Structure 1
Amino acid sequence: MKKSWSRLFLPLLLLAATAPAQTKLTVPFERFILPNGLNVILHEDHTTPTVTVNLWYHVGSGNEKMGRTGFAHLFEHILFEGSGHVPEGAFDQWLEAAGGNNNGSTNGDRTNYYEDLPKNALELALFLESDRMGYLLEAMSPEKVDGQRDVVKNERRQNYENAPYGLVSQLVRAALFPAGHPYHLLTIGTPEDLDAASLDDVKGFFRTFYVPNNATLVIAGDIDVARTKALVEKYFGPIARGAPPPVKTAPEPSSISVEKRLDVEADVELPRVQMTWATPPIFAPGDAELDLVAQVLATGKTSRLYKRLVYDLQIAQDVWAGQQSSQLASMFEIMVTLRKGKSPEQALKIVDEELDKLRKAPPSADEIERARARTVSGLVFQMERVTGRANALNSYNQLAGDPGYFPKDVARYERATEADLRRAAADLLPAGRRVVTVVKPTPGAPKAGR
């Protein structure tokens, strides 16, 4: 898992960032499954009198069909609009009155809801989550769907259509993954599909995916395990199991076999260039190595691309690289935002030169140690708070099939060698299978790009 224990664990956490591969760090948990298929994971931490409820539905935009996109993100909003025994607006009001906060998020693989609150409000959170799992359709109406449809369309306009470079990510995805691939489109979907969705379409999507046998509930913090189990059984036990949801798959071929070039015009001040590859899924061979490759290339002022493009040549304002890992496939991306008037072609040439060096010769021992320290520290510090641990348990459960995968995740980076990074760059970032994007400042063009 990438990217967010108490002081009691801090010495162990610091050790994890520097220790060799045999380091054993675990997040203790207990797991059970209700008769209706709901997976439940419990983690005790009595450091503070707080709890986190973290619920993952194993559905994201990657489960949507062409012509019916944006449903997963739409439901992220609809589930806050009231359910069978919770009036509209009461979900947030009741949690805030209890001293808690909550939110949700959606990506290509899952939809997540969480509540952070005092331990004496745990039962409230479980009631609220169970009510919208089991009784949402009782309160769903055309007016609620239309209202949230408009909210999502406005979010798309604000974050994509009217944002500088806002639609570049969609153009890249569409070029990199073929039509019908789960990651071909943005999670937010298209306005046309949102407009075309009927109430029956939306209800059908909920009945298919928002069922206990397609969800995992993590409860972490200052809990009594026996009492918590009883509360889970009380509120979630009566909810009926659904039919097994369809499993999302990637078509073959799942990506491109040639280099594609996208020349984008946008009403922006600064040129930008990007290179994007389809790369192995999260936790697959090569995934961790590419995380480290990204660090060597573009993280910190001593990284190769920063030094050449920003410091030495002074043609770039910023550089970034990352392995954006997902369940069926990942994307490795290099992005360079240039200074005003500087040449995109020169930047592309420099990036290719540095990539070619890394394909032919491994990074230095110092480079890989810096990359490893940054990456492992990031993994470790996301576990500092119980909220981060709850989400990690859910993430590892879905994506690795093991809620306790954290030590194995750390070990991936500890055992990666200089030769492994060279091999990953050579085999997984070839010049001939990528999307190259050049954004040219063009007055009068849409800010988002065309």
Structure 2
Amino acid sequence: MRKLTLSLSLLTCLVVTQGAFSQTKLVEKITRKGNELVIPYEKYVLPNGLTVIVHEDHSDPVVHVDVTYHVGSAREEIGKSGFAHFFEHMMFQGSDHVADDEHFKLITEAGGTLNGSTNRDRTNYYETLPSNQLERALWLEADRMGFLLDAVTQKKFEIQRATVKNERGQNYDNRPYGLAGETTAKNLYPYGHPYSWLTIGYVEDLNRVNVNDLKNFFLRWYGPNNAVLTVGGDVSTKDVIKLAEKYFGPIPKGPGVTKTTVPAVVLDKNRYVSYEDNIRFPMLRVTYPSVPTYHKDEVALDALAEILGGGRNSLLYKNFVKTQKAAQSNASHPTTELAGEFTFTVLPFPTMRLDSAEMLLQRTLAEFERRGVTDDDITQFKATRETRLIEGLASVSGKVSQLAAYQTFAPTANYLPQELKTIQALTKEDVMRVYNQYIKGKNAVVLTVYPNGKKDIVTHADNYTVSSAGYKAPNYGYDGLTYKKPTDAFDRSKKPASGPNPATQVPPFWTGSLANGIKMIGVRNNEIPTVTLLFSIKGGHLLSATDMSKAGVAQLTASMMNEATQNFSAEDISNKLEKLGSSISIGASTDEISVSVESLTKNLDATLAILEEKLFRPKFAPEDFARLKKQLLENIENQSTQPVVIANRAYNRLLFGADHIRAIPVSGTSESVKSITLDDVKAFYAKNFSPSVTNLVVVGDVDKADITPKLNFLTKWEAKPVAIPTVPAAKAADKTRIFLIDKGKAAQSEIRIGYVTDMPYDATGDYYRAGLANYILGGAFNSRINMNLREDKGFTYGARSGFAGSRLPAVFTASAGVKAAATDSSVVEFMKEITNYAKDGITAEELAFTKSSIGQRDALRYETSLQKAIFLSQIIDYNLPSDFVQKQSDILKNITPEEIKAIARKRLPVNNMVITVVGDKALIKPGLSRLGYEIVELDKEGKPLATASTENASAPAQAGSSKN
């Protein structure tokens, strides 16, 4: 692909009445002139109303297929919420010519990835595959568009209903603040408004729906005339149209669909509402009704949100976070097809009253009125938004998704130039005008989420109750719908053969080093005019192994390096970066400090000058340290309310032992962080930041000759020896036990099962082979574990297993969040699958699938700059040979069922694993007690309860011995 820049010119638009393919009409052809920012495409319409958009990009042997239906939760009815999302799940359950669960299997087997998503206004289904698999993807999508309903059975319906409930439990009911959006929506919009419920729907609605209701929903909204098929990548437009005609052309047109129109939301007063949650920080959320997507005021309101609460330079950050009053504060302006929501969110520390928080928010708005909008505000917003547009074009999937969204909602699929033009035309006056029009003096929904038992802290007594008075249900046209199958002139049951395998090339990379020890690796990627730099400074959290009383110092040090420098305040640096459209972030992990740099190529020199300042001249200001330390301590306490975090921390403590550095989170503990001083941070930086343990990856629109002189400033970095501690091996469990942590009233239980292996990461040895063995057990969507717990039983939204390793010994973990009532049965099924796999190994069919899937996915591995950077990071971090990919391919090709079985037997010690369960003890313990494992009760820190007794039993139960 030729490089894109920000110049604009006239576009070529060809509109004809008759295309070259049958009765299909060529509607529009967009080409690029010079280096303008545009996505070239051709758009056709089939006789049945299906819109087909094709974008050719031959830079990588990849194709992305997207089918977007203009139906989301906004097309649902009162009492039948969640249909659109529910149907998204059902669309993966097979059709006339595609067997149950075969859609996932066929795409994954072809080396591709796939998914679907639902929002208020649309549902889309998409696949990214090697380009030789184009026909297979189109055949699959057409089959479920035209041949779905006879394959929808009551059993599939019940399983997916359970899966959707689990998804709600995991992402809403069991998550802190998970119901904030739902509570806001039902109080912001009038009763019956299409946005007055969330896409996930209500459990009571899911309980009352029947399979015929769902079939009617499909018949009403899933016709080709309400869909857009968008295909991009290494394809021929002529071939795509021929295949679209073949597979989609016979599908009959569905009922007509008109654009939904609703009046703008107007609030007659501030609506105060609240609810209780298991949280540490209360939440204040203030939401004003605003404008829909592509409204003339949308961009100005987006800019207002950035100025008020979008980053370090925002007024909310200055008044709430900088002053240590809140853990978080921001403003956002999400918009959708029918409406927008301008929202302020504040999570004050427990010491701040919520009425005080609301008053400070109002004072912040008054301050904005006095301050006004500055030239810097506009410059920063434009640069940041333009960079985001460019970065969205880095992948074929990004371009296809953008075209599909524009076609569905914007005035034209070629809206990108207009969007850029709108951004460039923004003025300070525009921003002040929309503030006065939509925010100043206007009414809002004021939501308070308060901790358990603390309703007295709400900002104001609840003063609004939703009323259905005057509501009249619309007629969506469900009467008399009939299912008409397409009539074909070919045998649709015959799966399309794959085309010739595309030639996948490992990116040609360069290597180098600096005199002070920095090792470098890079690759040129000129598809978009950006550059990515990734620094890896070895050590990180592991350096605290010699003094675990200071655990967390690596994270605090990294955080401090994101603050002020000796010459500039944090706000000054943020201002400079935003004007450039660049970003620099520094973070800590278990074994490194990472520095990530993103820049437009034209702004690289200026960005590197800021990087030099941040790396070598951090200020380590006492006021920054005090604020960041307080935030870290508060966040550690806050995480004790989150089931996922509780499970992960307890699991690591059980795996490694309380006195092991890997048992302690990178953030540290309350005790260790309290002991850290500013001098500790300075000492950690002085001792451990060294080029001698630093690797640098460079990917983007520069080559080695271009970048090397620009990095001369790094040669001033003085090398010093850094000793990475050798951590002790973890002690193996003497037997498998269940460790239970009570999380009262939890809607779901979190399960972690596993052990610490004796193997570190390697690319072509035991670790790689163990990953191959795990793929069919718990690594793929259609793995044994996920198919059992999710697709067959409906216990979970997703279950998985895998080996996670680095230079340290890898950990094998099988995990899931499951519905509480199925906790004991889920443990049984996990252990059954692991036991059977260790005993019997892999089948010939499963091994063939594994080889095909993993063997073909290389086409997708190197497309974007980030993907290339991750690939190069592996090479330099682990000193891999340049031909390691070919060696992996040879191992995969030649591995046998006997080898897989031997690996599974060795690497799945079912009698020596830790089983950690976090959930509602009163509900789940009786069932767990019947499984035959010893149960040890722990507190939320993972420590044994002083008063808890353990329960012993003889042999573990077999699958099916417990009831949920």
Class of the TM-score when normalised by the shorter of the 2 chains: over 0.9
Matched residue SS, 2:447:
strand
Query: Structure 1 pair 386/345, CA: closer, same or farther in 2 (3 Å)?
Result: same
Equivalent position of 2:428 in the other structure: 418
In 2: Cα distance, 1:308 partner to 1:372 partner: 24
Matched residue SS, 2:357:
helix
In 2: Cα distance, 1:418 partner to 1:293 partner: 10
| Structure 2 residue 90 is the aligned partner of structure 1 residue 88 | no
Q: What does the per-residue CA deviation read over 1:30-54, in whole Å, with 9 as the maximum and x for residues that have no partner?
A: 0010011000000011101111001
Instruction: Note the 1:348-363 alignment, pairs <5 A.
Output: 348-359=358-369, 362-363=372-373
In 1: Cα distance, 2:369 partner to 2:120 partner: 30
Instruction: Note the 1:373-388 alignment, pairs <5 A.
Output: 373-388=383-398
CA contact (8 A) 2:315 2:368 kept: no
| Structure 2 residue 354 is the aligned partner of structure 1 residue 344 | yes
Matched residue SS, 1:332:
strand
In 1: Cα distance, 2:370 partner to 2:408 partner: 36
Instruction: Note the 1:47-62 alignment, pairs <5 A.
Output: 47-62=59-74
In 1: Cα distance, 2:228 partner to 2:410 partner: 14
Choose from 118, 122, 137 the match for 2:149: 137
Residue identity opposite 1:368 in structure 2: I
Equivalent position of 1:9 in the other structure: 3
Choose from 275, 292, 295 the match for 1:284: 295
Instruction: Note the 1:226-265 alignment, pairs <5 A.
Output: 226-245=238-257, 247-250=259-262, 252=263, 254-265=265-276
Identity across matched positions, percent = 38
Q: What does the per-residue CA deviation read over 1:331-376, in whole Å, with 9 as the maximum and x for residues that have no partner?
A: 1111111123222222222221222343465311112211221122
Equivalent position of 1:270 in the other structure: 281
Instruction: Note the 1:20-419 alignment, pairs <5 A.
Output: 24-245=36-257, 247-250=259-262, 252=263, 254-311=265-322, 313-359=323-369, 362-419=372-429
Residue identity opposite 1:9 in structure 2: K
Residue identity opposite 1:270 in structure 2: F
CA contact (8 A) 1:358 1:422 kept: no
In 2: Cα distance, 1:184 partner to 1:255 partner: 14
Residue identity opposite 2:385 in structure 1: T
In structure 1, list runs of 5 or more residues that go unmatched.
1-5, 17-22
Equivalent position of 1:440 in the other structure: 450
Q: What does the per-residue CA deviation read over 1:277-320, in whole Å, with 9 as the maximum and x for residues that have no partner?
A: 11111111211101111111112212111011111x21011122
In 1: Cα distance, 2:158 partner to 2:415 partner: 41
Q: What does the per-residue CA deviation read over 1:403-437, in whole Å, with 9 as the maximum and x for residues that have no partner?
A: 10001111212111111101111111133321111
In 2: Cα distance, 1:276 partner to 1:139 partner: 43
What is the root-mean-square deviation in Å for CA atoms of aligned residues?
1.9
Equivalent position of 2:815 in the other structure: none
Matched residue SS, 2:147:
helix
CA contact (8 A) 2:284 2:358 kept: yes
Matched residue SS, 1:273:
strand
In 2: Cα distance, 1:336 partner to 1:164 partner: 14
Higher relative contact order (CA 8 A, sep 6+): 1
CA contact (8 A) 1:165 1:447 kept: no
Query: Structure 1 pair 378/447, CA: closer, same or farther in 2 (3 Å)?
Result: farther
Residue identity opposite 1:83 in structure 2: S
CA contact (8 A) 2:264 2:339 kept: no
In 2: Cα distance, 1:425 partner to 1:253 partner: 17
Residue identity opposite 2:357 in structure 1: A
Please say which of residues 30-39 and 192-201 is displaced more in the overlay. Answer: 192-201
Residue identity opposite 1:55 in structure 2: V
**Distance apart, 1:104 and its partner CA:** 0.7
CA contact (8 A) 1:31 1:42 kept: yes
**Distance apart, 1:237 and its partner CA:** 0.5
Q: TM-score, normalised by structure 1?
A: 0.92
Query: Structure 1 pair 361/423, CA: closer, same or farther in 2 (3 Å)?
Result: farther
Matched residue SS, 1:413:
helix
Matched residue SS, 1:81:
coil
Equivalent position of 1:3 in the other structure: none
CA contact (8 A) 1:358 1:425 kept: no
CA contact (8 A) 1:177 1:254 kept: yes
Residue identity opposite 2:3 in structure 1: F
Q: TM-score, normalised by structure 2?
A: 0.44
In 2: Cα distance, 1:200 partner to 1:110 partner: 22
In 2: Cα distance, 1:211 partner to 1:304 partner: 48
**Distance apart, 1:264 and its partner CA:** 2.8
Q: What does the per-residue CA deviation read over 1:359-405, in whole Å, with 9 as the maximum and x for residues that have no partner?
A: 46531111221122112221221122111110000111111131100
Q: What does the per-residue CA deviation read over 1:154-195, in whole Å, with 9 as the maximum and x for residues that have no partner?
A: 111111112111112111111110111110001011111111
Aligned residues: 432
In structure 2, list runs of 5 or more residues that go unmatched.
9-34, 456-744, 748-964
CA contact (8 A) 2:62 2:129 kept: yes
CA contact (8 A) 1:46 1:221 kept: yes
In 1: Cα distance, 2:369 partner to 2:198 partner: 31
